[in-house]
Amino acid sequence: MATMQFDLVSPERRLASMEVSEVQIPGADGDLTAMPDHAPLITTLRPGVLRAIGAEGEKAYFVTGGFADVAGPSATILAERALPVDEVTGDLVEELISASETRRSNASDETADAAAKYHADLTSALDAIVGR
Amino acid sequence: MPSLKDLKNRIETVKSTRKITKAMQMVAAAKLRRAQEAAEMARPYAERMEAVMSGLAQAVGNAEGAPRLLAGTGEDKVHLLVVMTSERGLCGGFNSSIARLARQRIQKLLGEGKTVKILTVGKKGREQLRRDYSDHMIGHVDLSDVKRVGYANASDIASDVLNRFDAGEFDVATIFYNHFQSVISQIPTAQQIIPASFDDAEAAEGGTLYDYEPSEEAVLEDLLPRGVATQIFTALLENGASEQGARMSAMDNATRNAGEMIDKLTIQYNRSRQAVITNELIEIISGAEAL
């Protein structure tokens, strides 16, 4: 099976770098799956779960945002904050939700929509993880 | 002429100073390694970010209605200088070299009749600049409680800067930090972060035609603030490594100087002890001869 290079980097470190056959990306306008030789694409991310499927099985990561750079033989995810789904803890969930709520309540008219969307995406992503 | 006891005390003092500087050097060496690793790990993100942004900037940059973070406010009157220094001293010329560069820039801008605002990160730089430019200071970020600089710190500074920019407080923002070259050489660097500036040559390389989702403008809009945070984060990490490097070489020098001083003092001590002994002998001998 064809594979592609998958890199997941956060500002602080490289979280993953491996050969995968497909990556499921929570894009800002909806989920998408990148497979080898995907057309070059740059998309922003919404909070959600990123899945990389390779020879070693499926790896799931929770990302809060950032963007994905998909180009032919490689997919690079630059995540603002990312960690393996197994490491999502109750404390983190609460921290993220309260930060998002503060942001939403402080949002001006222009940014209210974006903040509300962020909050909705965040809560549904976290619900999905916690409700497993 | 100091007495023998004075000399002995003096030698002891210098010895314990040497122990301290030696320990500080070793601590700095360990911290330097960690700081370098952190800088190393942050590099892929920063590089990728820069590449994507410069590609985008070329595509969108010249169009009407480009984001203000990229195109600027169209004016060049008010400059914000973000001066990043360390929280602790005893690191050689580390802080002074940044302060000097910042001071030169401030003088130049003031000479051109521009308004200058200063945001300091790290207490040492604030102390140095406060003397001359306290009227220009608009804020200070204290990182003294932060053990390890994380992206969250950079992102806080960035959002402070961005809020001020949105409020129209300044037109151009520049960060000042020390670029880590090696343990003995740190280069004070000024880098303009708002409006974003890119190396054109670098952008030309990434020739792939991308699809942008949702749209080029939307992606760029989302990316630019992140870019500011990333640049600040990179600068903080470089600064962290530079600080430890500077401290390491400063403490290495101090340790060596203390060693030289101990040698000199020991010679002086031995000589005066010998002089005392000789004196006593002369007294005994001349006493014996007198009998």
- Tens-place pLDDT, residues A45-72: 989 899 999 888 888 999 988 889 888 7
pLDDT score, position B65:
64
Are the C-beta atoms of B248 and B29 separated by less than 8 Å? yes
Q: Is the pTM of this model over 0.80?
A: yes
- Contact between A11 and B46 using a beta-carbon 8 Å cutoff: yes
pLDDT score, position A89:
82
Question: pLDDT at residue B207 above 60?
Answer: no
- Contact between B48 and A78 using a beta-carbon 8 Å cutoff: yes
- Contact between B213 and A41 using a beta-carbon 8 Å cutoff: yes
The ipTM assigned to this model is 0.82
Assign residue A120 a region (left: φ > 0; alpha: ψ between -120 and 50; beta: otherwise). alpha
Four-residue CA torsion sign, B106, B111, B112, B114: positive
Q: Determine how many CB atoms are found less than 10 A away from the CB of residue A120.
A: 14
Are the C-beta atoms of B189 and B105 separated by less than 8 Å? no
Report pLDDT digits (tens) over A90-132. Answer: 888 888 888 888 888 887 777 777 788 888 888 888 887 777 5
Q: Sorting pLDDT into bands at 50, 70 and 90, what band is B63? A: low
Average pLDDT over residues B80-108: 91
Report pLDDT digits (tens) over B262-275. Answer: 999 999 999 999 99
Active-site residue, B138 included: no
Which residue in B50, B155, B210 has the most chain A C-beta atoms within 10 A of its own C-beta, making it the best mutation to test that interface? B210
- Contact between B218 and A44 using a beta-carbon 8 Å cutoff: yes
In this complex, the residue of B52, B218, B233 whose CB is nearest that of residue A11 is B233
Are the C-beta atoms of A125 and A48 separated by less than 8 Å? yes
Encoding tokens for residue B82? 């973000």
pLDDT score, position B201:
47
From the list B91, B196, B246, B251, the catalytic residue is: B91
DSSP B210: P
Rounded to a whole number of angstroms, the distance from the CA of A59 to the nearest CA of chain B is 20
Task: Between A106 and B249, name the one with better pLDDT.
Answer: B249
CB pairs under 8 A between A and B: 74
Q: Determine how many CB atoms are found less than 10 A away from the CB of residue A101.
A: 14
Which residue in B159, B213, B238 has the most chain A C-beta atoms within 10 A of its own C-beta, making it the best mutation to test that interface? B213
Question: pLDDT at residue B56 above 80?
Answer: no
pLDDT score, position B62:
60
pLDDT score, position B272:
94
Among A50-64, A75-89, B54-68, B246-260, whose mean pLDDT is lowest? Answer: B54-68
pLDDT score, position B278:
96
Q: What is the mean pLDDT of chain B?
A: 87
Report pLDDT digits (tens) over B27-49. Answer: 999 999 999 998 888 888 888 88
Rounded to a whole number of angstroms, the distance from the CA of B38 to the nearest CA of chain A is 7
Q: Sorting pLDDT into bands at 50, 70 and 90, what band is A13? A: confident
Among A66-75, A76-85, B70-79, whose mean pLDDT is lowest? Answer: B70-79
Q: Does B233 touch chain A (CB under 8 A)?
A: yes
Question: pLDDT at residue B64 above 70?
Answer: no
Q: Which residue of A lies nearest to B220 if distances are taken between CA atoms?
A: A44
Residue A74 to residues A14, A99, B208, Cα–Cα distance (Å): 15, 33, 13
Rounded to a whole number of angstroms, the distance from the CA of A41 to the nearest CA of chain B is 4
- Contact between A12 and B41 using a beta-carbon 8 Å cutoff: yes
